[in-house]
Structure 1
């Protein structure tokens, strides 16, 4: 069996099935990343440590480079990461304040 070719899809249904499979993998990776973010957050003692703008800039620069290497749009990857990082910062701040959202489980 050969791998599906996104440049020559057999049907819209096939394309959607492949996207759905990728979404599952992406969500699993986000969940794993969240576990590490929560672990990092437990080592931080204040809001500035959570927000860490220099670290955010470092991550954005790194993922833009990775996007270019992978043939992805650096702009799309940056916007996706900024949204994800923003959500994780909110999660870390909630943990720092002693609020443990159910999404962190």
Structure 2
């Protein structure tokens, strides 16, 4: 258990490293999903975004995470991954 601010920061840094690895893996799947999409509408997929947001809010609640923080982080992450998919789509056309 952390006993001082330095320990807390080291724990946060370790968690960040794990999160970056997971985000990289998620990004690879986003690129893969982009290969199945042929239109801008399929990339934007607002219905899918809404489903994902509701799902992560539920998981956040169940896990004790701050729902507002989780929702905002996911909205930003999804927006950036959508931009990645748009670039992938543009490169193919």
TM-score normalised by the chain length of structure 1? 0.85
Pick the structure with greater CA Rg: 1
**Cα deviation code 1:39-81 (max 9, x no counterpart):** 0011000000000000000000000000001100111000000
Partner Cα distance (1:53, 1:15) in 2: 38
Higher helix content, 1 or 2: 2
Partner of residue 23 from structure 1, selected from 16, 24, 31 = 16
Give the 5 Å matches for 1:24-39: 24-39=17-32
2:88 corresponds in structure 1 to 95
Could you list the runs of 4 or more consecutive aligned residues of structure 1 that deviate by over 6 angstroms after TM superposition? none
Partner Cα distance (2:67, 2:50) in 1: 14
Which protein, 1 or 2, shows the higher relative CO under an 8 Å CA cutoff with sep ≥ 6?
2
Partner of residue 68 from structure 1, selected from 28, 48, 61 = 61
Gaps of 5+ in 1: 100-105
